[in-house]
């Protein structure tokens, strides 16, 4: 079921990384809000930006484009985007597009530096 | 008692007193009447003055409306309208300098849009240079922003109440202001507001000839400001409408442009039945399908979806289509063709744009269907009488993301089509169509449709899937383009290639109507 809402909030910030959670649906309706919300993630100088997507229920091609844009913006600053715990449905989209080799997708917290205190 | 009166007549003392009383009363009555007359005359004078004032105001407003009206019929130009407002107010009040401040669209700040005469800076400037030339001063004032509530202009905008400052040195609003070295004596400020929304402030400075602004000027400027607010609001709405029309026009352009990319005719073959379907969404996406007749024996079949929408999406697709058509003739290998299309697309498109595509080359003699899936939805196949659909999703990565070796993971797959086997290609606009409760149509329904309707032929199959999606979504707006291609292998009666059937049919027949 699609949910045309998107909530982004900072979950934790640690040494060399920043973690934010996306809840809801990332599609052409929410992509502008998403891009505005992640502005400060790009300018935060975090080193690694971890996007917790375990509660991301749907992602469209516009949503993937936005993630790709974020990834390249971070890359230009020598920073990395990590996608954390996608649902099976969202992971299927990444697999279908062949993007599991382009995005760093991890399933456990030890995969990125300095595990946060939740 | 009798006394002698001066006229030698005989009048009693009582009578004399009575007479004096009468005279006194008459005198008082006359004085009262005179006073009353004088008062009513004064009232008449005031009424005449007010009448003249109203008439002058009316005349000014009518003149103003007339000028604004002819200005608007010449086209809703915001700047010309603002110019007119300021010069009109300046003329009507005989002010040395005037300016119009408008509230910015993006933030609660005011900025001077029109400045006429030697207009003083009304708040502390961020630069402390002294500007001798009025042009530089005007430029500077127009660059500066004033917060709502800040300074006299900010206060008038925030409160919506005008100000008449007869002597700036004595008025509490301006006593501390230095006006950047400009000599200021008196000021008049009127708010521009519509529907309780503050649009800006009209400011007049220094009455010409050393006089001072008065209540008449204030009432005039307030009348002009009221009309100006309504007019600017109208111009704003006008522009909004023009912008909407422009966007609709762009959308229309994108639609017709995209339609140009689609095949004008569906080719016909003895061994094969073919059909394509394309229905754009409200906000045009970047779907595309095509049939490329490579040579007598090979038919290229393509379906694609670009991640961008509107004109940019259609332009990306046009570029991809051009490369694909050129490369398809140079190689019979879908992988080689897509590798080249990918390299070109990766160079041409921005980092975040990608294209999913399935490209197949069908051997019209043998029925061998070779294809690559560049991140696109799976290829579905079903032979008449089968109760299951075969789904093919070989490894593959979307186009335009990375040049070169990354694309190496993409695999080419070969299917030997059986007689009566139907191949269905689709974009996610079909499977992701939603119903009232936001549930998706889904791949399962598409598969079921293929099993049930495949034997009826590609055109009937596509029609039934479209009808199914429309019934499912029951009037919900279509969010994404819907595109499908279906082919059914008939094979050759004796294994030999027959001559192609007559003229091609119009692809337009299969295009959905909105």
Question: CA-CA distance, B305 to B98, in Å (whole number)?
Answer: 57
Interface test with B, best of A69, A98, A100 (most B CBs within 10 A): A98
State how far residue B449 is from chain A, nearest Cα, in angstroms: 21
Distance separating alpha carbons of residues B192 and B227, to the nearest angstrom: 8
Q: What is the DSSP letter of B47?
A: H
Q: Count interface pairs A-B at CB distance under 8 A.
A: 68
Which of B113-117, B153-157, B274-278, B480-484 ranks highest by mean pLDDT? B274-278
Average pLDDT, chain A: 80
Mean pLDDT computed over B437-461: 93
Answer whether A3 touches B (CB < 8 Å). yes
Task: Give the Å distances, CA to CA, from A104 to A61, A80, B148.
Answer: 18, 9, 47
Query: Average pLDDT for residues A50-56, to the nearest whole number?
Result: 90
Measured distance CA(B492)–CA(A35) in Å, rounded: 55
Task: Please compute the mean of the pLDDT values over residues B57-70 and round it to a whole number.
Answer: 75
Q: Which residue is closest to B442 within chain A, CA to CA?
A: A1
- C-alpha A96/C-alpha A104 separation (Å) is 16
pLDDT at B506 over 70: no
Question: Which among B226, B233, B182, B235 has a CA at the least distance from the CA of B88?
Answer: B226
Q: How far apart are the first and last CA of chain A?
A: 29
Contact A65 B308 (CB under 8 A): yes
Between chains, do A102 and B402 touch, taking CB under 8 Å as contact?
Answer: yes
pLDDT at A40 over 50: yes
Q: How many C-beta atoms surround the C-beta of residue B390 within 10 A?
A: 15
Q: Read off the tokens for B88.
A: 């009109």
Position B424 scores a pLDDT of: 97
**Half-sphere exposure (Cβ direction) of B448: Cα atoms closer than 13 Å:** 8
Q: Any residues with CB less than 8 A from the CB of B290 and at least 6 apart, and which?
A: B261, B262, B263, B300, B301, B302, B321, B324
Q: How many residues does this entry show for chain B?
A: 514
pLDDT of residue B308: 74
Residue of chain B nearest A99, judged by CA positions? B397
Confidence band of A47 (pLDDT split at 50, 70, 90): confident
Residue B350 has pLDDT above 60, yes or no: yes
Candidate from B353-367, B381-395, B469-483 with smallest mean pLDDT: B469-483
Inter-chain touch A98–B398, beta carbons under 8 Å: yes
Q: Given this model, what pLDDT does residue A112 score? A: 63
A93 at the B interface (CB within 8 A)? Answer: no
Closest of A31, A27, A94, A105 to residue B398, by C-alpha: A94
pLDDT(B30) > 50: yes
pLDDT one-digit tens code per residue, B190-245: 999 888 888 999 999 999 988 899 888 888 898 889 888 988 888 888 888 888 88
The secondary structure of chain A in percent helix, strand, coil, rounded to multiples of 5, reads 35, 35, 30
The rounded distance, in Å, linking the Cα atoms of B187 and A116 is 61
Contact B428 A101 (CB under 8 A): no
| Residue-averaged pLDDT of chain B | 85
Which position has the token pair 């603002």? B82
DSSP state of A30: T
Q: So what's the pLDDT on residue A115?
A: 44
Q: Is B89 helix (H, G, I), strand (E, B) or coil?
A: helix
Chain B residue whose CA is closest to A4 = B438
CB B379 within 8 A of CB B487: no
Give the side-chain half-sphere CA count within 13 A for A88: 0
Strands A80-84 and B109-116: unpaired
Please tell me the predicted confidence (pLDDT) of residue B499. 38
Q: How confident is the model at residue B25 (pLDDT cuts 50, 70, 90)?
A: very high
A1 at B interface, C-beta within 8 A: yes
Cβ contact B483:B305 at 8 Å: yes
Say yes or no: A78 contacts chain B, CB-CB below 8 A.
no
Predicted local distance difference test score (pLDDT) of residue B493: 63
- In the three-class reduction of DSSP (H, G, I as helix; E, B as strand; rest coil), residue B154 is classed as helix
Residue B132's pLDDT band (cuts 50, 70, 90): low
Query: What's the pLDDT score for residue A13?
Result: 67
The C-alpha angle with vertex B49 and arms to B45 and B52, in degrees rounded to 5, equals 140
Of B374, B371, B370, residue with least CA distance to B346 = B374
Least confident range of B139-148, B217-226, B316-325, B499-508 = B499-508
User: Is the model's pLDDT at A118 over the cut of 80?
Assistant: no
Site of tokens 């009037």? B475
Most confident of B133-142, B217-226, B303-312: B217-226
Q: How far is Cα B314 from Cα B255, in angstroms, rounded to an integer?
A: 8
Q: What is the pTM of this model?
A: 0.63
How many contiguous H segments (helices) and E segments (strands) does chain A have? 4, 5
- Residue B341 predicted with pLDDT over 90: yes
Q: Which ipTM score applies to this complex?
A: 0.82
Q: B307 at the A interface (CB within 8 A)? A: yes
Q: How far apart are CA A46 and CA B224, in angstroms?
A: 55
In sequence order, which residues have a C-beta less than 8 Å from that of residue B491 and are 6 or more positions away? B271, B367, B419
Quote the pLDDT of residue B32: 92
Share of residues in chain B with pLDDT > 90 (%): 47
Determine whether the interchain pair B438/A1 forms a contact, defined as Cβ–Cβ distance below 8 Å.
yes
Query: Are the C-beta atoms of residues B510 and B459 closer than 8 Å to each other?
Result: yes
Listed by number, the residues of chain A in 15-54 with a beta carbon closer than 8 Å to a beta carbon of chain B are: 27-28
Look at A69 and B283 and tell me if their CB atoms are within 8 Å: no
Closest residue in chain B to residue A93, using alpha carbons only? B375
Inter-chain residue contact B438 with A64, CB threshold 8 Å: no
In this prediction, residue B444 carries a pLDDT of: 93
Cα–Cα distance for residue pair B96/B1, rounded to 1 Å? 81
Q: Are strands B298-306 and B10-12 parallel, antiparallel or unpaired?
A: unpaired
Residue B415 vs residues B308, B361, B386, B419, B422: alpha-carbon distances, Å: 32, 11, 16, 12, 12
Q: How far is CA B288 from the centre of its chain?
A: 28
Enumerate the residues of chain A whose CB falls inside 8 A of the CB of residue B406: 101-102
Q: Do B438 and A3 touch (CB under 8 A)?
A: yes
Question: Does B379 contact A at CB distance below 8 Å?
Answer: no
Angle (CA) B383 B385 B387, round 5°: 85
Chain A positions touching B106 (Cβ under 8 A) are none
How confident is the model over B233-288, as pLDDT tens digits? 888 888 888 888 888 887 788 778 778 889 988 999 999 999 999 988 866 668 89
Q: Is the pLDDT of residue B505 over 60?
A: no
């Amino acid at each position: 079921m699609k949910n045309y809402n998107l909530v982004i909030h900072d979950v934790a910030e640690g040494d060399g990384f920043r973690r934010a959670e996306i809840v809801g649906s990332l599609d052409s309706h929410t992509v502008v809000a998403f891009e505005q919300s992640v502005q400060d993630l790009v300018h935060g100088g975090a080193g690694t930006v971890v996007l917790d997507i375990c509660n991301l229920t749907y992602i469209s091609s516009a949503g993937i484009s936005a993630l790709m844009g974020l990834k390249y913006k971070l890359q230009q600053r020598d920073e990395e985007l990590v996608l954390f715990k996608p649902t099976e449905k969202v992971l299927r989209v990444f697999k279908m597009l062949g993007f599991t080799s382009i995005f760093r997708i991890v399933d456990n917290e030890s995969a990125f530096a300095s595990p946060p205190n939740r | 008692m009798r006394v002698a009166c001066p006229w030698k007549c005989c009048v009693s003392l009582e009578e004399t007193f009575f007479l004096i009383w009468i005279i006194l009363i008459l005198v008082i009555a006359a004085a009262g009447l005179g006073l009353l007359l004088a008062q009513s005359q004064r009232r008449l004078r005031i009424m005449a003055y007010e009448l003249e004032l109203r008439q002058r105001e009316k005349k000014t407003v009518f003149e103003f409306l007339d000028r604004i009206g002819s200005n608007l019929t010449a086209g809703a130009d915001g700047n010309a309208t603002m110019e007119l407002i300021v010069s009109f107010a300046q003329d009507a009040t005989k002010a040395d300098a005037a300016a119009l401040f408008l509230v910015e669209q993006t933030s609660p700040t005011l900025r001077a849009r029109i400045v006429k005469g030697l207009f003083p800076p009304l708040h502390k400037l961020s630069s402390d240079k002294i500007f001798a030339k009025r042009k530089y001063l005007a430029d500077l004032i127009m660059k500066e922003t004033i917060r709502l509530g800040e300074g006299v202009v900010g206060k008038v905008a925030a409160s919506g109440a005008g100000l008449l400052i007869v002597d700036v040195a004595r008025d509490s609003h301006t006593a501390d202001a230095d006006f950047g070295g400009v000599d200021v004596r008196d000021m008049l400020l009127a708010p521009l507001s519509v529907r309780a929304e503050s649009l800006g402030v009209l400011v007049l400075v220094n009455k010409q000839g050393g006089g001072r602004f008065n209540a008449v000027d204030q009432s005039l400027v307030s009348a002009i400001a009221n009309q100006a607010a309504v007019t600017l609001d109208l111009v704003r709405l006008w522009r909004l409408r023009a912008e909407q029309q422009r966007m609709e026009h762009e959308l229309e352009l994108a639609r017709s442009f995209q339609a140009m990319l689609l095949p004008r005719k569906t080719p016909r073959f003895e061994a094969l039945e073919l059909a394509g379907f394309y229905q754009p969404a409200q906000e045009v996406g970047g779907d595309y399908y095509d049939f490329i007749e490579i040579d007598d024996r090979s038919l290229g079949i393509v379906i694609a979806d670009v991640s961008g929408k509107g004109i940019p999406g259609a332009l990306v697709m046009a570029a991809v289509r051009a490369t694909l058509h050129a490369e398809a003739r140079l190689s019979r290998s879908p992988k080689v063709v897509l590798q080249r299309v990918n390299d070109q697309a990766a160079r041409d498109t921005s980092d975040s744009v990608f294209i999913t595509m399935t490209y197949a080359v069908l051997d019209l003699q043998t029925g061998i269907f070779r294809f690559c899936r560049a991140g696109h939805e799976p290829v579905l196949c079903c032979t008449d009488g089968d109760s299951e659909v075969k789904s093919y999703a070989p490894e593959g990565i979307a186009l335009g993301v990375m040049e070169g070796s990354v694309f190496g993971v993409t695999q080419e797959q070969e299917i030997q089509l059986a007689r009566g086997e139907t191949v269905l290609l689709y974009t996610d606009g079909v499977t992701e169509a939603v119903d009232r409760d936001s549930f998706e149509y889904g791949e399962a329904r598409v598969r079921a449709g293929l099993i049930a309707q495949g034997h009826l032929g590609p055109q009937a199959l596509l029609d039934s899937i479209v009808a199914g999606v429309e019934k499912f979504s029951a009037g919900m707006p279509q969010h994404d383009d819907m595109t499908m291609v279906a082919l059914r292998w008939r094979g050759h009666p004796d294994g030999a290639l027959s001559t192609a059937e007559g003229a091609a049919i119009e692809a337009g027949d299969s295009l959905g109507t909105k």
